[in-house]
Amino acid sequence: MTGYRRDGRIEDCKSFEDVDFWISELRRDGPDEILIYVIGNKVDLEPLRVVDREVAESYAQTKGVFHFHSSAKTGQDVEEIFYHICQMEYEMRSSKENGGMRPQSTIDFSNFTQLEGKKGRHRGRCRCQST
């Protein structure tokens, strides 16, 4: 899986303005099958939001990229983002193996377990399996 991360903070308009540049760079220099995600981080700072959620979602649709919101501090929606990445990677690989046909199965995350991490935080471990 090819991945790349840039912070996009909901309380920082400049970080959102830079997204267009980074998407262009990734499309120019990255592999053809790259998955690009625009993630509005720091939703725990919602009262300080300057990047409108609907504007970001509309932008992501026009660019043909995935869009999520999360908080690294609280963990809000972080697991969902990784699940989505896993699912999309699985579908891309299955599609290649099946001659371009999309797979009929989905990822089974029922084996997802939580492991205790440092300072009482949880670290997730996922064993992705096709069903």
Which residues on adjacent β-strands are paired with residue 68? Answer: 39
What pLDDT shows up at residue 120?
Answer: 37
Higher pLDDT residue, 35 or 122? 35
Confidence of residue 100 (pLDDT cuts 50, 70, 90): low
Residues 37 and 78: beta-carbon distance below 8 Å:
no
Determine the pLDDT at residue 15.
84
More confident residue, 4 or 10: 10
CATH value of 1-76 in 3.30.1330.10, 3.30.365.10, 3.40.50.2030, 3.40.50.300: 3.40.50.300
Residues forming a β-bridge with 28: none
pLDDT in tens, 65-96: 999 999 999 999 999 999 999 999 899 888 87
Tell me the pTM.
0.68
Instruction: Output the 3-class SS for 77-115.
Output: CHHHHHHHHHHHHHHHHHHHHCCCCCCCCCEECCCCEEE
Both structure tokens of 38:
């625009």
Least confident range of 45-59, 68-82, 100-114: 100-114
Q: With contact defined as beta carbons under 8 Å apart, do 43 and 70 qualify?
A: yes
pLDDT at 115: 39
pLDDT digits (tens, 9 = 90+) for 108-126: 444 444 433 433 333 343 3
Listed in sequence order, the residues at least 6 apart from 86 whose beta carbon sits closer than 8 Å to its beta carbon are 107, 109, 126, 128
Q: Which residues contact 124 (CB under 8 A, 6 or more apart)?
A: 79, 82, 112, 113, 114, 115
